[in-house]
Amino acid sequence: MKFDKIYVGRGIAAPTPVRRTTHLGEDTGDTFARILQEERDAAEAELQNPENSEPDTIVTRVLADGSVVTRAYKGARLISETTTHGNRLTPSKALIAEQATYLPGAAQSAAAMLASLTPQGAAERTEHISNTL
**Domain assignment present for 34:** no
**Domain assignment present for 110:** yes
**Domain assignment present for 119:** yes
pLDDT at 46: 59
**Domain assignment present for 46:** no
Mind listing the pLDDT tens digit for each residue in 64-116? 888 899 998 888 888 889 998 888 776 677 878 888 888 776 555 555 555 66
pLDDT at 4: 55
Mind listing the pLDDT tens digit for each residue in 2-56? 555 555 555 566 666 666 665 566 677 788 888 888 888 876 665 566 666 678 8
How far, in Å, CA of 68 to CA of 97, rounded?
A: 10
The closest alpha carbon to 66, from 44, 85, 91, belongs to 85
pLDDT at 71: 92
Q: Are 75 and 128 in contact (CB under 8 A)?
A: no
**Domain assignment present for 84:** yes
List phi, psi (to 5°) of 99.
-135, 130
**Domain assignment present for 45:** no
pLDDT at 12: 62
Q: Which residue has the higher pLDDT, 57 or 3?
A: 57
Name the residue range of residue 120's domain: 54-132
Q: How many structural domains comprise the chain?
A: 1
pLDDT at 22: 52
The closest alpha carbon to 124, from 112, 114, 113, belongs to 112
**Domain assignment present for 43:** no
**Domain assignment present for 14:** no
- The sign one gets for the Cα dihedral 75, 76, 79, 84 is positive
pLDDT at 60: 92
pLDDT at 123: 40
